[in-house]
Structure 1
């Protein structure tokens, strides 16, 4: 009985050990499952978290990409604007280049004109220098003529003064003026005795000075001019003034035999000129009215040979002034 019980107890223990073992295995399996599930849960959560983080990163990357795309688009727009600006600048540069080419052409043309003007200016300067030389020479001659004329007038004054004669000599032309009433009776053409006496005193002195060797080489004319007042007709007065001036000239030639050498008499006849002017050059008083007595006169004066040259030079100077004015006007119009 005891062995049976021991046998029964042994079988029961085996079963129990088996059950315990199976329970342990089951518990172990459950533990493994729990650990696995826990680990899976952890991995899942970790995976979810990683996915969320990836999504966040993806959103950030997407945002950055969008921003970069916006920047790229802005840069493209800027590049497009710059290209447009470059195109405009190219057009502007092309226009400026054309302007520069035009300016260069104008400059070349102006340089050509300037070269031509320089040649013209050089020619004008040469001509001006030549004219200046001519004018200087002529001015010297004029100064000499003016000096000679002044010397003759001064010599006449001194000669009359040394002979204690009060005679009025015109300071400008050296004219010796004598009233007709002193030389002629009223409306007469023959010299009165008083007139002859006056002429015999003044004419020798006047002619001797003019025919002095230091002056007569300059002498062109000794002129006797007759004048009347305005009473009577012009033609009558013209004849009267001519006959009176001729009477003075004839008396001068008659007197010259007494105070001039034959050579100087010849010079006197060659250079003597007689004119009648009627009433064409009246003498006026301070109020502008005719002074009839002063208008009736005879003038003895002289003219130097080169006085015509003075008038000619004046004409040259006037012509030069007109030419200079014309040239200045032309240059102003060209500029």
Structure 2
């Protein structure tokens, strides 16, 4: 083989390698484009769910406020944009250290809960409610106990109070037609003193910390989580 033939053979070899590299670059480029398009679609899905969730929460908050605004002051209650309803006058709810509902709070619940249930199980919201949480909260103290023991004792007390509340609600005649839905969606959660209410000075407001809250969780979180899992 002379030098010219060898030179031509080497050129053909390098041309074939160059073609191969160019082809691989095109493949990688196409993969990158497909990935970016899919990622953009997923981001749009997350954005759309977030927008729908925000609209749902805003509308539900307004409907709850419209329904209960005239009653909140006498109940010692407040409705918050995070869809929590707080009953914060402990003298109306439980005696100190007790888990039995006071008659006054039973009367409030008998008025409040059927109306509340009517809103959240309406066609507008029913399929978007993932959980109805009854939360029991206490202050951080327990007479004669150090901090850790007080926390544990208050945890038991808060759980007993939420169970008492749940038991009373499930027996209300006005909610019997929705009992199956309630048992699938409603939970009782004792939180002890883990979420105290603070005064303007940053100190715990022990009276307001002793409270019962109703809190709604929509299924937007699970929808977003399912989309994010598709990235993995």
TM range (shorter): 0.7 to 0.9
In structure 2, stretches of 5+ residues that fail to align are 1-13, 143-149
More strand per residue: 2
Matching residue of 2:85 = 176
More helix per residue: 1
Matching residue of 2:141 = 231
CA contact (8 A) 2:132 2:185 kept: yes
SS for the counterpart of 1:158 is helix
Q: 2:47 aligns with which of 114, 135, 139?
A: 139
Over residues 225-280 of structure 1, what are the superposed CA-to-partner deviations in whole Å (9 max), with x where a residue is unaligned?
1111110212210110001111111111122x22x352x22211221101111111
In structure 1, stretches of 5+ residues that fail to align are 1-104, 321-335
Matching residue of 2:179 = 265
- Answering whether residue 216 of structure 2 is matched by residue 290 of structure 1, we say no
- Answering whether residue 32 of structure 2 is matched by residue 124 of structure 1, we say yes
* Distance in 1 of aligned mates of 2:200 and 2:79: 20
Matching residue of 1:250 = 167
- Where do residues 84-95 of structure 1 align in structure 2 (5 Å cutoff)? none
Q: 2:216 aligns with which of 302, 308, 314?
A: 302
Which structure is larger by alpha-carbon Rg, 1 or 2?
Answer: 1
SS for the counterpart of 1:214 is coil
- Answering whether residue 71 of structure 2 is matched by residue 157 of structure 1, we say no
Over residues 173-197 of structure 1, what are the superposed CA-to-partner deviations in whole Å (9 max), with x where a residue is unaligned?
x101112332111111001111112
**With structure 1 as the length reference, what TM-score do the two structures score?**
0.56
Greater relative contact order (CA < 8 Å, ≥ 6 in sequence): 2
- Where do residues 321-332 of structure 1 align in structure 2 (5 Å cutoff)? none
Over residues 56-98 of structure 1, what are the superposed CA-to-partner deviations in whole Å (9 max), with x where a residue is unaligned?
xxxxxxxxxxxxxxxxxxxxxxxxxxxxxxxxxxxxxxxxxxx
SS for the counterpart of 1:213 is coil
Matching residue of 2:9 = none
Matching residue of 1:210 = 120
SS for the counterpart of 2:96 is coil
CA contact (8 A) 2:135 2:188 kept: yes
Q: 1:132 offset after TM fit, Å?
A: 1.4
Q: How many correspondences in the alignment? A: 207
Over residues 183-218 of structure 1, what are the superposed CA-to-partner deviations in whole Å (9 max), with x where a residue is unaligned?
111111001111112222222222111111221111
**With structure 2 as the length reference, what TM-score do the two structures score?**
0.78
Alpha-carbon spacing, 1:119–1:244, altered in 2? closer, same or farther (3 Å) = same
- Where do residues 42-57 of structure 1 align in structure 2 (5 Å cutoff)? none
SS for the counterpart of 2:124 is helix
- Where do residues 35-74 of structure 1 align in structure 2 (5 Å cutoff)? none
